[in-house]
Structure 1
Amino acid sequence: MGSFVQFFLDESRQKVHGVLFLSTVSTQSLVIVWKAAFGDSSLYRLVAPWAILLGVAFYFVSFFLIMRRYWRDGGDFDLDRDWFNTNCITHGAMSITGLASTVCGVVPPMLTLAIWLWAISWFFLIEAVEFARAVKRISLYGLAQGLLVYDPTQWSRNFTFGMLYAFTRNFDLSQSVANPFLLAFRQVFLDSLAWVVLVFLLVEIYVFFRDRLAPAPVVAEAGN
């Protein structure tokens, strides 16, 4: 909580990015773990909705701070310099919120549907930005240096894609909507996303080992 206050008050607000959403991710992770530990006990069913609500509060505070940062950047925004891998947690944090809502069994299906639609919408928006950034980086640095340079924050993308898949797979859309288009879209999206998750995971593993197994640069000793 202190960190959020700090981001509102001082210059650190200029450095915020998607990592803020980890406050939501950690809170909703507890809801899922508690389900495995306590099942459908009355205590769990009492606590889970409030924990999910706390995670949602963290989410929208983080969302506001990040949107404010980019709004104030305005014309100074540079897609390569100012966009972060962790921004994909914008949809990943809401996906794990939806998964927690589905798992706990006490959130109304219509609210879970709203969470799913939010996560899906931001998935397409964020990944469109990611695609544009990838194109720009390739034009600036080439394929290898533009996309295949390892950074630990790249794993956040695997998490967010996997979490959206897990949420979509566990959410029974037919309980909240009878729209045939949405039902068909869910199935097509689920089938396609499974392959996307696998491909991105394999690519990230390749980039990781490419970085780790690359020979270290030789530094000449002074005087040689």
Structure 2
Amino acid sequence: MIIPLKPGELQRLIPAVASGPQFSFCSGNPQKILQRVLISVIGGVISLLIAQSQFSYRFGSIWLVAGFVLLLYVLWGPILEAGRKNATLRRYPKAALYEARVGDLFTKELVEQRNEQADQRGRLELVENRRTWLSLELEDDDGYLGSVRFPMEKKHKTIRRGMVVRGLVLSERPDFSRIDAMSDAWIPQLKAWVGEYPYLLRPAFEELCLRRLR
């Protein structure tokens, strides 16, 4: 089942500015946070030192502003990243609410990071960090709809074939004859959200489902 959204509904469901869950997601793991902190501190301190030096009497105010902007990179970096992610779905001219079923599901090991480190003999070896991802193949009355994949956690072991899944599909075509993108999804039976990235404002989407899928 696919129900086209009304004008403005997509923008209310996927914000232009990062929501709380989106900010947390884009903040990243401890390594990514440390990288942002280093860029923020080093870039900010250098810019502020240049602003106070005698060589910047003409552009001191510009360097001062740049220093404060870099010092706040830890905050605006995730916001900017989330805004770019949100824009990839907000740009589609057509969006629709779907209700589908889990037709099939399978897991796959994906390499998330590769690092070189020395072994006991001092030789470099490649170390891969792998993570299990779960893919849900979704289908409705018209057949195959699309797939949603995400890092698998313990709570996802209860997902079964036939469970109802709801989310958004996006397309360049008004008849949705081709699905170009899908949002994260809600499994009402488990009261659980799944997806690679939290595009949707979840309370607003659940309220929309109650109004449009009665």
TM exceeds 0.5?
no
More helix by share: 1
TM-score (norm 2): 0.21
Which of the two has higher C-alpha Rg? 2
Q: Which has the higher strand share?
A: 2
When normalised by structure 1's length, the TM-score is 0.20
